Amino acid sequence: MAIGAVAWLMMESRKPGPLTADKIVNIVREDDGGSIAEQLERAGVIDSATWFSLLTLLDGNRSGLKRGEYEFKAGVSMNDIETLLAAHHVVQHKLTVPEGLTSEQIVQRLRDDDVLVGDIKETPREGSLMPDTYYFERGFTRQSLLTRMAKAQTKIVDEIWKGRAPDLPIKSPGEMVTLASIVEKETGKADERPRVAGVFVNRLQKHMRLESDPTIVYGLVFGKGTLGHSITKAEVNQVTPYNTYIIDGLPPGPISNPGKAALEAVANPLRSRDLYFVADGTGGHVFADSFEQHLKNVAHWRQIEKDAKDRLAPDATPPSAPAVHGALESADPASFGKVTAPTASLATSAVVLAHLAKIGASRNRLDAALASLSSAAAGAKTMEELGAVVAGVNDAPAEGDAFADQDSAGTSDGSIASVPLSPAMLTDQKAREAKYGAPELTPSDNGNSGAAPLAQPSPSGRPRIYDASEGTKLDPLLNKTYDLSYAKVVPDLSHQ
């Protein structure tokens, strides 16, 4: 029975597993995730942790399986999984360190990598690390990777130093690394490195200063970054131990970590008479063996820079005179819009302005009249006398008006009228007064209650205008049964 079970397990171990797609699984320590078999089962790589443990026990590999980050292919069998873990073929990660970085910059790259672990005790010496692409597994320490870089640099420098040209003005491997670090920062073209190295070697042999711009930058920031701007004249003249415009010979140490190609270029430079070089606008440089030719090359480079700026801003034109600090320059009409004379008719504008002036004058007179009325005592002037009466409201009836011949103080039967009424309206009013009663008018000021009260005059002296139903039961202001603001609703007066 047991033999049959073992035979069955051996057959099953060769069959495709449950994975339907490639998968990366990080198998951690048993304290964190359990046994290897259990972690594989949870990840869906195998069907049964029990059968996988029994298989590795029968094969004698149970204690030989190693933890780590593995990539399992789709359908991987238990046999292949066992072989992979026993050989410790884990996933390899990589980190590329470009040539020309400072040690400070390389350390920062290692700290930014989330696959590496651990801290870095101190920044390595400048120029002691070899730029390259390094492979490592998950959990590899940053300090271990720095150690690997330093060992690679020592080995390569020793090999290149042994094969150097015999007549170089370089006395030690350290000086070779220092000059190579300058060459590395001066050009990014591989085929130019030997020629650039040859220029510096020629200058050292002639006891000329190297005058390398990257040494100015390093002397100011000491490998922590860049200036963030073009080198100024003051910075060229600033004294630092690394400024090769000021010091003679090589600086006291490397200004970057040079790659293998730069080291080889310094150890075996191109033989030429070149003493100068300047950018040519294509990413490379143009070389010269005389200062006069170098000045021409520099002028050509300046023109290339100017043409590049003009292409970036083709519409920009330089000012005709030097700008004065704090002065306000005229705005460009193309950028901000040009102020032009209005195209509308001037006659129309004049009419509008005259009308607005007339309204303003009338408003001023009215304000003055209202102020006078509010503070005047008895005998103050009327609105008409002040000239503040609105035309068409308090005017007397025009000559020929249909009601002009009617007495404005009353009707033919002596009753008081507020407005001229037609015979039909008078008949209707009398009928309403007979049914609902006459208006209850306020007694006159002379105290004669028996006399017919007179209507209070308006400020203009004319009869006050009021509704004929005012003071009666028909007064709409006293009737609360309907909404006065809605004219189509008729009040029900049948109960009154």
Q: What is the pLDDT of residues 81-115, one digit of tens each?
A: 999 999 999 999 999 999 999 999 999 999 999 99
Categorise residue 44: left if φ over 0, alpha if ψ from -120 to 50, beta otherwise. Answer: left
> What is the pLDDT averaged over residues 183-194?
92
Q: What is the pLDDT of residues 319-369, one digit of tens each?
A: 444 433 333 344 444 443 444 444 444 455 555 566 566 666 666 666 665
- Mean residue pLDDT of the chain comes to 76
Please give the pLDDT value at position 401. Answer: 46
Please give the pLDDT value at position 31. Answer: 79
Q: What is the pLDDT of residues 358-386, one digit of tens each?
A: 666 666 666 665 555 555 444 545 444 54
What are the CA-CA distances from residue 465 to residues 427, 456, 462 (Å)? 19, 10, 9
280 pLDDT band, cuts 50/70/90, is confident
> Which class for 302: exposed (0-12), middle (13-18), buried (19 or more C-beta within 10 A)?
exposed
Please say if the pLDDT value at position 146 is more than 80.
yes
Categorise residue 238: left if φ over 0, alpha if ψ from -120 to 50, beta otherwise. Answer: beta
Tell me the backbone φ, ψ of residue 87, rounded to 5 degrees. -85, -10
d(CA 92, CA 467): 104
Query: Mean pLDDT: which of 30-39, 46-55, 233-242 is highest?
Result: 233-242
Looking at per-residue pLDDT, the higher value among 309 and 119 belongs to 119
Choose which CATH entry (3.30.1280.10, 3.30.1490.480, 2.40.50.140, 3.40.50.2300) describes domain 2-87. Answer: 3.30.1490.480
Tell me the backbone φ, ψ of residue 279, rounded to 5 degrees. -60, 145
Which part of the chain has CATH 3.30.1490.480? 2-87
**Model pTM score:** 0.60
Lowest mean pLDDT among 4-8, 223-227, 254-258: 4-8
d(CA 134, CA 442): 113
Q: Are 434 and 442 in contact (CB under 8 A)?
A: no
Q: What is the pLDDT of residues 35-70, one digit of tens each?
A: 999 999 999 999 988 888 888 888 788 788 999 999
Looking at per-residue pLDDT, the higher value among 217 and 188 belongs to 217
Please give the pLDDT value at position 485. Answer: 47
Q: What is the pLDDT of residues 423-482, one digit of tens each?
A: 776 777 777 667 666 554 444 444 444 444 444 444 444 444 444 445 555 555 555 554
